[in-house]
Amino acid sequence: MSERVVVIGADAAGMSAASQAKRMRGDDLEVTVLERGSHTSYSACGIPYWIAGDVGSVDDLVARTAEEHRANGIDLRMRNEAVGIDMDRREVEVRELDGSGADSSRGSTYRLGFDHLVIATGARPRRPEVPGIDADGVLGVQTLDDGERFLDALQSRRPQRAVVVGGGYIGIEMAEAMVTRGLSVTVVTRSPEPMATLDPDMGRQVHEAMEGMGIDVRTGAVIEAVETSADGWARAVVTDAGEFAADLVVLGTGVSPETELASSAGLPVGRWGGLVTDLQMRVFDAEGVWAAGDCVESIDLVSGNRVHVALGTHANKQGRVLGTNLGGGYATFPGVVGTAVSKVCELEIARTGLKEKDCDAVGFAYLTVRVDSTTRAGYYPGAQPVTVKLVVEQRTGRLLGAQIVGREGSAKRIDTLAVALWNHMTVEEISALDLGYAPPFSPVWDPVLIAARKAADKVRAGS
Amino acid sequence: MSERVVVIGADAAGMSAASQAKRMRGDDLEVTVLERGSHTSYSACGIPYWIAGDVGSVDDLVARTAEEHRANGIDLRMRNEAVGIDMDRREVEVRELDGSGADSSRGSTYRLGFDHLVIATGARPRRPEVPGIDADGVLGVQTLDDGERFLDALQSRRPQRAVVVGGGYIGIEMAEAMVTRGLSVTVVTRSPEPMATLDPDMGRQVHEAMEGMGIDVRTGAVIEAVETSADGWARAVVTDAGEFAADLVVLGTGVSPETELASSAGLPVGRWGGLVTDLQMRVFDAEGVWAAGDCVESIDLVSGNRVHVALGTHANKQGRVLGTNLGGGYATFPGVVGTAVSKVCELEIARTGLKEKDCDAVGFAYLTVRVDSTTRAGYYPGAQPVTVKLVVEQRTGRLLGAQIVGREGSAKRIDTLAVALWNHMTVEEISALDLGYAPPFSPVWDPVLIAARKAADKVRAGS
């Protein structure tokens, strides 16, 4: 007898789950996917590049269209929003939204029964709670629909000045995109340096690279209000460090799990507001309910704590793991180590594991090293500067985290350290690793190895 | 009471050992280094780029000059060749060579006593045993002195045609260097594809890239003789697949450990002719004798066997480990996993662990997967093709080896797999790794993860 699966959300996690389960169980599973937006299976991470004009068409960001999913036997209902979950009757209440731009509170509703429910509702941009934050012209960059709104605004209002609130990777990528579009850009961030996923000593280099691109960077500044013009459109961002004129305001203050629907239904959310699942992506204490993607919390394999990391790569993996289990197979998503890479102009930025502040928060005593080296042999044409920082547990020498900032060829070196972290390696062990060496790719001591060696010396010295 | 150390060989391993020991024990250690050549602490791996003209000066390849080493208190004797080791009297017999070009069998000799002997004699190019192989114009590329001979020959003889014997990484790099210099180049190799450190299916791509550069590649061809002109200079290479005119012949047939001196003194060498040491780089059964670099064998951490891998990165690490122990500290060189990267024109080539043939030789039952992907998100400008091949143990799913061939941004991805290999990870575990993802650096599923996922599926299917 076939089972009914309802999936809420048709982006990476939801569609990976639906596709994988359907692939494994075929007609044995009736899969309905509800999506309130207008796009499926897209790369949200590509939005800044689309806005910058580096990616020609929105279609390039769509991995698989609604039609392709339907051809695989999935009942995909676009512009159908799940507005309630009835756990007792095991039904989802759905509102059919009209064409784009319709008031989502109108439209008729219907109910859909399920044997299995998959929650893949994603995340939403955090909005600082200040006056004017909901004004027109204050834009998040989370969905392709957001991206379309952004491009519409660029076209219709010909903005000259943009203010980005928040200096995280989305904020920085958007700042660069708008510089590329010819706007003058100010980034306002409350942290001491932009890119607060790095320690400030490493964030400093990001700060300098941004200034090098002509971006006005204001650190330690707290937003107090968005001022609007007579037509209700944003006009300026007011902070405790002054007021900045803005024809567009971009929210780059990070995202929160979109779990209102789930928590209203009594499903368990964690410290960061994300759904809490087991290793197979089954929501705890909720028979037949699954979740994956930006709406869940994951285990941080370094500290053992739950964390919320909204990244397409995790969403895809979790969705696939979920679909495999739902499809009768077995797979687990063991957790994350906090790896992230990004780019501002020519500067590559990477991190994994815990930064200094994180260590303090979870109770690790640590030491750090920071080394400057080059991406290739110093004598080889095109060798570029790279800085590697390691955060290491005192006494044991266990790697706790790493950060890399440098020019071309720097960022993906973080993967080496991410795998080391995953395997609980000490810096002494890391310094012996057999990494690829040839003059076009690395100095004879890879920067990662130099850093590990120096850290091991420091651990031994007991400092 | 100070101890006397004699080091034979002043390149990476010998000078790393000498410097580290001296740094740790200072005046307590009298360190004498004997070097028969004219250069210290240089990057032999850089020679092809120097010959190509990408590296301006030989000085760029020298990490530390003789004068700098002497300033650190090391008694460095250039053009002094160790010609005998007397283990009973614990003395080295040394010949003072005259200025460059002198007949090394002349010159006066002296004896030097030691408490500790460090053998860092490196490797020498393998010469196929065929008539004419010792002719003028048949050149190895192992030392800076070799490189100088090469550049002299380019200048004095204005060669038009070069034949490279051997299609390994040195052969390929030299072929490219000579193409850059305007020569027409033929590469003759006995293996079915060039780059025999890869499986033939991956080597095929290297073959095509070489042909794309205008290199004439002859595979499955065995050299039979080098023909010479009246003046004794090489004129052609004769193989079982025809004769190839040559104004220069380059030996790219790999290297063998330079251990004649050591084995004459009764020191133990292994299956590949390299000295066999413990984890601290002490030669077995020879009190006070140490060895490091291209003249030693290492433990292959995948198979457990001893292997000979001549690479600057190992020489540097082993030298440092040796020096640390000799200096009264503690360090080990646990072994290698067989990582190597290289480049031919725009094609990046990487490998780690065992290839199919290696698995057969050591007794692993394996399966393989090969996937084609891109170095960046497919929609991101500059995304390049990359092929990843994994060799995986049947049943357990343990990674045994990996090969990567692709365009810019491909090769250093091998490090991720090298660390996975080091930690005995299975492909199922690897497929869950938290690797850096952002559109400029990777598709949302990194090529490495896709390959691991497909391999895990195959292991599960039991095929």
Q: Which residues of A touch B381 (CB under 8 A)?
A: 54-55
Chain B CB within 8 Å of residue A316 CB: yes
Chain B CB within 8 Å of residue A439 CB: yes
Q: How far is CA A195 from each of CA A415, B201, B289, B324, rounded to the nearest angstrom?
A: 19, 43, 52, 39
Among the listed residues B117, B120, B119, B98, the one whose alpha carbon sits nearest the alpha carbon of residue B107: B98
Minimum distance, in Å, between the CA of residue B96 and any CA atom of chain A: 31
Strands (E), B64-157: 75-78, 80-86, 91-96, 109-113, 116-119, 123-125, 138-139
Token code pair at residue B305: 């066997």
Chain A CB within 8 Å of residue B241 CB: no
- Cβ contact, residue pair A436, B415, below 8 Å: yes
Q: Which residues of chain A have pLDDT under 50?
A: 100-102
pLDDT of amino acid B56: 86
Is B3-45+57-124+256-326 a domain of CATH 3.50.50.60? yes
The CA dihedral of B88, B9, A442, B448, to the nearest 10 degrees, is: -40
> Quick count: other Cβ atoms within 10 Å of Cβ B136?
15
**ipTM exceeding 0.90, yes/no:** yes
CA distance A249 to A257: 22
Q: How far is C-alpha B339 from the chain's CA centre?
A: 10
pLDDT of amino acid B104: 53
- HSE of A457, CA atoms in CB hemisphere, 13 A: 13
Among the listed residues A233, A225, A231, the one whose alpha carbon sits nearest the alpha carbon of residue A135: A233
Three-state DSSP at A7 gives strand
Q: How far is CA B116 from each of CA A24, B31, B76, B258, B281, rounded to the nearest angstrom?
A: 66, 9, 16, 20, 12
Three-state DSSP at A189 gives coil
- Cβ contact, residue pair B343, A440, below 8 Å: yes
Helices (H), A158-196: 169-180
Residue pair B58/B50 in contact by the 8 Å Cβ criterion: yes
A 166-225 near B (Cβ less than 8 A)? 169
Among the listed residues A278, A389, A409, A296, the one whose alpha carbon sits nearest the alpha carbon of residue A334: A278
pLDDT of amino acid B100: 45
Best residue of B415, B433, B449 to probe chain A, by most A CBs closer than 10 Å? B415
Residue A205 one-letter amino acid: Q
Minimum distance, in Å, between the CA of residue B408 and any CA atom of chain A: 10
Token code pair at residue A46: 């590509």
Q: Using CA coordinates, name the residue in chain A closest to B449.
A: A317
Q: In which residue are the tokens 């070069």 written? A: B162
Helices (H), B312-376: 312-326, 356-362
Minimum distance, in Å, between the CA of residue B329 and any CA atom of chain A: 11
Q: How far is CA B301 from each of CA A236, A360, B65, rounded to the nearest angstrom?
A: 61, 36, 34
- Cβ contact, residue pair B45, A334, below 8 Å: no
Q: In which residue are the tokens 């405790």 written? A: A240
Minimum distance, in Å, between the CA of residue B281 and any CA atom of chain A: 14
Burial call B146-164: b when 16+ CB within 10 Å, e when fewer: bbbbbbebbeeeebebbbb
Give residues with Cβ within 8 angstroms of B237, minimum separation 6.
Answer: B163, B165, B186, B188, B223, B225, B226, B227, B243, B244, B246, B249
Q: How far is C-alpha B13 from the chain's CA centre?
A: 13
Which CATH number describes the domain made up of A3-124+255-326? 3.50.50.60
Burial call A227-252: b when 16+ CB within 10 Å, e when fewer: ebeeeebbbbbbbeeeebebbbbbbb
Average predicted confidence (pLDDT) for chain B: 95
Task: Give the angle subtended at the CA of B439 by the CAs of B435 and B441, to the nearest 5°.
Answer: 55
Q: Which residues of A touch B378 (CB under 8 A)?
A: 60
Q: In which residue are the tokens 């930006």 written? A: A294
pLDDT of amino acid B102: 47
Task: Tell me which residues of B are annotated as active site.
Answer: 45
Residue pair A281/A322 in contact by the 8 Å Cβ criterion: yes
pLDDT of amino acid A105: 59
Q: Which pairing describes strands B242-245 and B248-251: parallel, antiparallel, or unpaired? A: unpaired
Give residues with Cβ within 8 angstroms of A128, minimum separation 6.
Answer: A165, A223, A253
CA distance A355 to A359: 6
CA distance A55 to A252: 20
Among the listed residues B286, B238, B271, B275, the one whose alpha carbon sits nearest the alpha carbon of residue B133: B238
Helices (H), B85-157: 144-157
Q: In which residue are the tokens 């799940």 written? A: A82
Token code pair at residue B342: 């290289």
Minimum distance, in Å, between the CA of residue B351 and any CA atom of chain A: 8
Among the listed residues A340, A338, A333, the one whose alpha carbon sits nearest the alpha carbon of residue A303: A338
pLDDT of amino acid A142: 87
CA distance A299 to A297: 7
Token code pair at residue A439: 């003059």
Residue pair B96/B79 in contact by the 8 Å Cβ criterion: yes
CA distance B144 to A333: 51
Do domains A3-124+255-326 and A127-251 share one topology? The answer is yes
- Cβ contact, residue pair B379, A61, below 8 Å: yes
Give residues with Cβ within 8 angstroms of A52, minimum separation 6.
Answer: A176, A177, A178, A180, A181
- Tally the residues of chain A: 463
Q: Using CA coordinates, name the residue in chain A closest to B421.
A: A434
Q: How far is CA A335 from each of CA A226, A301, B44, B244, rounded to the nearest angstrom?
A: 38, 6, 43, 58
Q: Which residues of B touch A419 (CB under 8 A)?
A: 416, 419-420, 423, 433, 435
Give residues with Cβ within 8 angstroms of B37, minimum separation 6.
Answer: B10, B78, B79, B143, B144, B145
- Tally the residues of chain B: 463
Which CATH number describes the domain made up of A340-461? 3.50.50.60
Q: Which of B423, B433, B441 comes nearest A412 by C-beta?
A: B441
Helix (H) or strand (E) holding A165: strand A161-165
Residue B10 one-letter amino acid: A
Chain A CB within 8 Å of residue B355 CB: no
Q: Which residues of B touch A423 (CB under 8 A)?
A: 419, 423, 425
Residue pair B368/B389 in contact by the 8 Å Cβ criterion: yes
Q: Which pairing describes strands B91-96 and B109-113: parallel, antiparallel, or unpaired? A: antiparallel
Residue A251 φ then ψ, to 5°: -90, 110
Q: What tens digit of pLDDT does each residue of B252-296 get?
A: 988 999 999 999 999 999 999 999 999 999 999 999 999 999 999
Domain map (residue ranges) of chain A: 3-124+255-326, 127-251, 340-461
Give residues with Cβ within 8 angstroms of B441, minimum separation 6.
Answer: A341, A343, A348, A411, A412, B376, B409
Q: Indicate if A295 belongs to the active site.
A: no
The secondary structure of A262-321 as a DSSP string is HHHTT--B-TTS-B-B-TTSBBTT-TTEEE-STTB-EEBTTT--EE----HHHHHHHHHH
Token code pair at residue A8: 């809420």
DSSP state at residue A152: H
Q: Which residues of B touch A434 (CB under 8 A)?
A: 301, 313-314, 335-339, 352, 418, 422
CA distance B419 to B442: 19
- Cβ contact, residue pair B380, A336, below 8 Å: no
CA distance A267 to A259: 9
CA distance A372 to A389: 9
Chain B CB within 8 Å of residue A60 CB: yes
Minimum distance, in Å, between the CA of residue A95 and any CA atom of chain B: 31
Percent of chain B whose pLDDT exceeds 70:
98
Token code pair at residue A225: 């209000």
Three-state DSSP at A257 gives strand
Among the listed residues A73, A76, A77, the one whose alpha carbon sits nearest the alpha carbon of residue A27: A73
Q: What tens digit of pLDDT does each residue of B234-258 get?
A: 999 999 999 999 999 999 988 999 9
Q: Which fold has domain A127-251?
A: FAD/NAD(P)-binding domain (3.50.50)
Full pLDDT tens readout for chain B, 463 residues: 799 999 999 999 999 999 999 999 999 999 999 999 999 999 989 999 999 999 988 999 999 999 999 999 999 999 999 999 999 999 999 999 975 444 555 689 999 999 999 999 999 989 999 999 999 999 998 899 999 999 999 999 999 999 999 999 999 999 999 999 999 999 999 999 999 999 999 999 999 999 999 999 999 999 999 999 999 999 999 999 999 999 999 999 889 999 999 999 999 999 999 999 999 999 999 999 999 999 999 999 999 999 999 999 999 999 999 999 999 999 999 999 999 999 998 999 999 999 999 999 999 999 999 999 999 999 999 999 999 999 999 999 999 999 999 999 999 999 999 999 999 999 999 999 999 999 999 999 999 999 999 999 999 998 6
Token code pair at residue B424: 């005995």
Q: Which residues of B touch A441 (CB under 8 A)?
A: 341, 343, 348, 411-412
